[in-house]
Amino acid sequence: MQNPPIRVIAAVVRSGDRFLICQRPSHKRHGGLWEFPGGKCEAGENDAQAITRELAEELGVEVTAVGGALFSASDPDSPFVIAFLPVDIRGEPVCIEHAALAWASRHEMTAYELAPSDARFVNFLGHDE
């Protein structure tokens, strides 16, 4: 019997035409690749609670608004289903768990080595242009 998928929330944080992306630590799955920040929903958490907790832990910022999913993708060869949600934050993000962070336009993100599901989301964003 197959285990149910594990929901992961990815925060789509924008500042003008730029998006916040973070480099995963080398010791984690997809280490060294770039992603939209976020993490797994814990038992009993809704999307907003999960992303609020994750961004406080990972980036030291306060979440002020969370929208509905823009895009969802299964992460290849894993039980994770990643939902990309628009998120507004207060505060300046700092690398607490990530190796680096950057603000990049959709076009600039194509030059970063993105995690597989994040690359699919950036490709999806390109269809809006």
pLDDT at 26: 85
Q: What is the mean pLDDT of residues 110-125?
A: 94
Do the beta carbons of residue 53 and residue 93 sit within 8 Å? no
Helix and strand counts by DSSP (H, E) for the chain = 3, 9
pLDDT at 20 over 70: yes
Phi-psi region of 32 (alpha: psi -120 to 50; beta: other; left: phi over 0): left
Give domain status of residue 5, yes or no.
no
Q: What is the CATH number of the domain that holds 63?
A: 3.90.79.10
Give domain status of residue 2, yes or no.
no
Give domain status of residue 20, yes or no.
yes
Q: What is the mean pLDDT of residues 63-70?
A: 96
- Which structural domain range is residue 74 located in? 14-126
**Between residues 77 and 7, which one has the greater pLDDT?**
7
Neighbours of 62 (CB within 10 A): 12
pLDDT at 127: 66
How far is Cα of residue 84 from the mean position of the Cα atoms in its chain? 7
Q: What angle do CA 19, 25, 31 make, to 5 degrees?
A: 90
Give domain status of residue 94, yes or no.
yes
% of residues, the chain, pLDDT over 70: 96
Give domain status of residue 21, yes or no.
yes
